[in-house]
Chains A and B, each alone.
Chain A
Amino acid sequence: MDQLFNRKYIVQGLFIVVALILLGKLFYIQIISDKAFSSAESNVLRKIYKYPARGAILDRNMKVIVQNEPVYDLMVTPNEVKPFDTIGLANALEITVEDVRKKLKKARAQSSYQSTFFERQISVQSYARLQEIMYRFPGFRTQDRTIRHYPDSIAGQLFGYVKEVSPDDIEKSEGYYKPGDFIGKSGLERSYEDFLRGEKGVINTLYDARNIAQGSYANGKYDINAVSGDRLISSLDIRIQRLGEELMKNKVGAIVAIEPSTGEILAFVSSPGYDPNQLVGKDWGKNYMSLIANPYRPQIVRPIAGQYSPGSSFKPVDALVALQDGAIDPNTTFFCPGYYMAGNHKVKCEHVDGTINMQRGIARSCNTYFCHVFQNIITKNGMKNQRQTYTKWHEQISKWGFGQKLGIDMPFEKKGIFYQADHYDKIYGKRWGYTTVISQAIGQGEITSTPLQMANVMAAIANRGYYLKPHLIKGIGDKNVVKKEYVVKNYVGVDEKYFPIVIDGMRDAVNSPWGTAKESQIRDIVMCGKTGTVQNPHGKNHSVFIGFAPMDNPKIAIAVIVENGGFGGSYAAPISSFIVEKYLTDSIKPRSNGYTVKAFAETNLLPALIDKTKKIKPTKLDSLKIKKADSLKKVKDSLKIKSAVLKQTVATKLKVNQPGTNHKPVTNK
């Protein structure tokens, strides 16, 4: 042992320090940081997604209306690509060589060792051409998947479309969607996306350093089989849907037909329509742009997004609410001189009927009668309590679905306009009364509703007091699951006993010589209905008809609106009659008046296109001015209420007492 013996400790100390450094670094990369672990996973693991078939949709008679069709994508794994005949590939795909380069560059930017899209949805011809020469393009492969196909080429707005997910969708889905996935963007495809899409399958495959597949990861323990989307059974009857679309050709408008006992929607026509197959595949962009450019705006889903004043078709509701309210009784008559004076504002009637009762008032669509009804309702507790009675009336009418979304299983439903008393308070202060809002009595002015809401009102009348939530899908999956909310009866708050008289009136509207829709009578079927002629400040009035059939135990309720169709009886009612007849008898018998489906289908009611450059849209300021002017006028009107009412009452009394009328005179309170 010499004095240098201590140097042993220095050497050994160095060993230990170095060992600790090694262990420290190991501790960091193995235990603290998990970067290496995920890098290792991404080294070897490739998730290959298996796309499930999207769920098919059948109509109520189990006919397939939405199905899938195989398409082929060309995929590329950039780092497996060897120099290849770019011209050959470009020719096979019918694209330019420049495109080939661009696409390859894009794919490389995404990932060099993962298979990414080179060209989506190549045509069958391209696919066939490629199959023969595929061996010349190492790194490329084709992948098949399915796209939507709509065999009937109708109901475009109803089905909506499916499209590749946007970065936004991916973010919102919290990891469910991956780039390249497809998602329902509108219509049923959107509202039932969760059922239709099925479950994506995943195959975890291990790859070695040379990117050669080495079999499944963990013996497929984490693999997921693709599960096809649920099959949906639609409530639609494709026969009347097709008929409806045909009848609505060259017209703007909508048809909604509902089975009253279930709330199932039988027809859902939005016109102009388009072929849903246009919005499938790689021509999507081009076709979508041309749809958007169409001045008649086919992309609007008019049955739920079109908001029209219900017009006279509102009258049955008016009558029922009044009966329930006790504001009138079934025998109440009013005198119609061909107009109704609300203050000094004249509400015109299409006819001069003299003393008229409810049944006839409905059949003849008498504006005067219903203005009186409305006046009675609102003023029944005296002039001072009009606001309160209006509020109650609003509540009663709302029960029918006005001014609110019905919650149909389609996206983008509109609720229509139906103002509460507050709204008028804001405009008129305390000084407003029934004359201010008299236009609502006849479904005009500050009330709008969607064709769906109108059809739903008919369903409620057909059911004598309740409706079921209207819906388009009546069964989900193999078990035909029905949503619970679709079997709940929603009562509209009118007792069953009040319905017969109104329904009689509606029957007369179609089936009596004095009815407004007498031209639409169907042989052997009693259809009840109500026409409406909606004032259109921009052009010819809109033709509206709502109805149901048969009168007893109704099977179908319908609402038809034909923009610029004029009188309700001229277009909307006959169109309804054809659909009702077709639905109930599966045929259309020749009409005595010579009306044919063909003639209606050929009629062009598309409004002339207005040169948009000339049309000056009212600015916000302008519309405010208009409102103010209106309100000023109406304030003046209401000041004159008292004298007007007095005059009116006298006039009514005088006329009622004239001989030749069988009806018992009734004065309003």
Chain B
Amino acid sequence: MIQQQGNRFFFNVDWITVLIYIALCAVGFINVYASIYNPDKATGFDFASSYGKQLIYVITGLILGLSILLFDGRLFNVFAPFIYGATLFLLVVVLFVGRNVGGNQAWIPIGSFRLQPSEFAKFGTALLLARYVSTFNPKFRDFKSIAIAGLIVLAPLLLIMLQPDTGSALVFLAFMFPLYREGLSGYFLLIFLGMIVLFVADFLVPTYILVLILTTIGGLFIYNNRRKQKIIISTVLVTIIAIAYLFVVKIAYEKVLAPHQRSRIELMLGLKADNKGAGYNVIQSQIAIGSGQATGRGFLQGTQTKYGYVPAQSTDFIFSTIGEEWGFMGCSIVIGLYMFLLLRLINLAERQRSTFSRVYGYSVACILFFHVFINIGMTIGIIPVIGIPLPFISYGGSSLWSFTILLFIFLKLDSNRMGFI
């Protein structure tokens, strides 16, 4: 392949991904505008307003992204530990100097902007994880490598938990997928899935019935493998752990989770109806989205949006604006764009020669996936209310820029895919 020298910086960049990125940012701007739009105060374009700021964030974000492409991709590999260290440092700092917004000590004020270190911790962690995997090439068959990888992920996660920002912390579970791709046993995913299923079941079904079910399954499994002593022992162990988990979860739920988190979970599971308090957001968000019907009410025509029925609409609940004004059609397009981006990122990751790039690419895709799934799931009531932004669309500079950096670092790495980083 012959490449032109004049195009060095942007050589081999996957412009399709950039286009999707721009499309999502545009969707974001339009809907932030709509969710803030007030028919009585519609006076030209106002840069001091939220939509004006969002436009600035989008433009600066794009500049930021393109300037990342100017870097040498190898720098990210080299500086990964430093970047990781810096984000950890910021996560510690924020606990002391952070500004408390909405109960979370998540923001560091810098001038007129507020920095949210948890957003930047994502690519810091992704870089170090990629560095670790590419350097030591562990297959995650031994305890040590799992522990090291776990530590890299859990350190920022726990620091974020201390803010406490459970939502952002949960996103770090997305790193399970890159690790799985690199050889972590599928059982880990299954166990994780099992934990979620048991957690949910624990609320919906009396505990003694769950214990009965678990012992029955364990018993049948042992009976089928009655000649294999090893399996019998591990099955007994797993069953005991699972049963213990049921009780621990019950206690932890009461003791560890804050009341508002408990009520969000109970609302999502339909254990509690509350259309004025904690349930208000979810109900109003679903009403707004549902009222969009097939084709939506049209741009700036959403009554629920215009008249402020959905709280936090420009940020975490921006999807309700899309749902109301653009209907099922618009929702499908947005979800389609995300899916196209995510699947493409995985494909791009797989074409990397370097493990570093691949692990990083998987991390980017899976972080975005978690955000999209949790955020949209929350607005339509299939996931408890977890306050994390919808990538590229939600209002806010920190989240937009951090997602931009996250994505464009990968695009840069991808453009260097022929080389060995």
| Interchain CB contact under 8 A, B293 and A18 | no
Which residue of the partner chain, among B290, B331, B362, B382, contacts A35 with CB atoms under 8 Å? B290
Contact partners of A214 in chain B: CB under 8 A: 39-40, 306-307
Q: In the bound complex, how far is the Cα of B319 from the Cα of A23, in angstroms?
A: 13
- Chain B residue at smallest Cβ distance from A30: B328
Q: Is the CB of B291 within 8 A of A40?
A: yes
B260 at interface, CB cutoff 8 A: no
A397: interface (CB < 8 Å): no
**Given contact pairs A36-B289, A39-B291, A27 touches B328 in the complex (Cβ within 8 A):** yes
Please determine whether A12 and B343 come into contact, CB atoms closer than 8 angstroms: yes
What 1/0 mask marks residues of chain A from 28 to 50 whose CB sits below 8 Å from any chain B CB?
A: 01110111110111011000000
Number of interface residues of B (CB under 8 A): 48
Q: When the two chains form the complex, which single residue of A12, A43, A207 contacts B346, counting CB atoms closer than 8 Å?
A: A12
Distance A18 CA – B373 CA, assembled complex (angstroms): 7
A-chain residues with CB within 8 Å of residue B289 when the two chains form the complex: 26, 29-30, 36
**A514 interface residue, CB < 8 Å from B?**
no
A669 at the binding interface (Cβ < 8 Å): no
A22 CB within 8 Å of chain B? yes
User: A221 in the interface, Cβ–Cβ < 8 Å?
Assistant: no
Known A7-B181, A18-B369, A25-B380; judge A30-B327 contact (CB<8 A): yes
* Residue from A12, A19, A29, A43 in contact with B304 in the complex, judged by beta carbons closer than 8 Å: A43
Q: Collect the chain A residues with CB atoms within 8 Å of residue B293's CB.
A: 30-31, 34, 37
Of A8, A21, A39, which is within 8 A of B350 by CB?
A8
A301 and B343 alpha carbons, distance in the complex (Å): 84
- How many cross-chain pairs have Cβ atoms below 8 Å apart between A and B? 120
| B352, chain A: closest CB distance, angstroms | 11
Contact A11 B382 (CB under 8 A): no
Assembled-state Cα–Cα distance A40/B183 (Å): 49
Q: Are A25 and B382 in contact (CB under 8 A)?
A: yes
B298 at the interface (CB under 8 A from A): no
Instruction: Encode A270-308 as 1/0 by CB contact (under 8 A) with B.
Output: 000000000000000000000000000000000000000
5 pairs of A and B residues whose beta carbons are closest in the complex: A36-B290, A40-B291, A208-B307, A29-B290, A30-B328
Contact B290 A33 (CB under 8 A): yes
Given pairs A18-B369, A23-B335, A30-B328, 19 additional interface contacts (CB within 8 A): A4-B182, A8-B347, A10-B180, A11-B180, A22-B382, A23-B331, A26-B331, A29-B290, A30-B289, A30-B327, A31-B328, A34-B293, A36-B288, A36-B291, A37-B291, A40-B304, A43-B304, A44-B303, A208-B307
Q: Shortest beta-carbon distance, A22 to chain B, in Å?
A: 5
Q: A27-B328, A210-B308 are in contact. Are A40 and B287 (CB under 8 A)?
A: yes
> Nearest chain-B residue to A217 (Cβ)?
B303
B66 at the interface (CB under 8 A from A): no
Is A646 on the interface with B (CB-CB < 8 A)?
no
The reply to whether A4 and B335 contact each other, CB–CB distance below 8 Å, is no
Q: State the CA gap A7–B362 with chains docked (Å).
A: 11
Binary interface encoding of chain B residues 279-310 relative to chain A, with 1 for a CB under 8 A from any of its CBs, else 0: 00000101111111110000000011011110
Contact A4 B181 (CB under 8 A): yes
* Complex interface residues of chain B between 365 and 392 (CB less than 8 A to chain A): 365-366, 369, 373, 376-377, 380-382
Q: Mark A191-233, 1 if CB is under 8 A from B, else 0.
A: 0000000000000001111100011000000000000000000
Proximity bits, B11-34, A CB within 8 Å = 1, else 0: 000000000000000000000000
Q: Which residue of B lies closest to A45 (CB)?
A: B303
User: For the complex, is B156 an interface residue (Cβ under 8 Å from A)?
Assistant: no
A5 interface contact, C-beta 8 A: yes
Q: Which of B181, B309, B366, B376 contacts A22 (CB 8 A)?
A: B376
Most buried by B among A11, A27, A33, A37: A11
Question: A595: which B residues are within 8 A, CB to CB?
Answer: none
Contact, CB under 8 Å: A206 / B307: yes
Q: Hey, which chain A residues are within 8 Å of B309, CB to CB?
A: 43-44, 208-209
Within 8 A of A (CB), among B222-248: none
Smallest CB-CB separation from B310: which chain A residue?
A209
Q: Are B181 and A8 in contact (CB under 8 A)?
A: yes
Question: Is B418 located at the chain interface by the 8 A CB criterion?
Answer: no
B residues less than 8 Å from A29 (CB atoms): 286, 289-290, 380
* B212 interface contact, C-beta 8 A: no
Q: With A16-B339, A22-B335 in contact, do A11 and B362 touch (Cβ < 8 Å)?
A: yes
Give me 22 A-to-B residue pairs in the complex whose CB atoms sit less than 8 angstroms apart, sorted by A's number.
A8-B346, A11-B180, A11-B365, A15-B369, A16-B343, A19-B339, A22-B335, A22-B373, A22-B382, A25-B380, A26-B331, A30-B331, A31-B328, A34-B293, A36-B289, A40-B287, A40-B303, A43-B303, A207-B307, A208-B307, A208-B309, A214-B307
Once bound together, how far apart are the Cα atoms of A602 and B395, in whole Å? 88
A22 touches B307 (CB 8 A): no
For residue B295, which residue of chain A has the nearest CB? A30
- Say whether B216 faces chain A, with CB atoms less than 8 Å apart: no
Q: Is the CB of A209 within 8 A of B323?
A: no
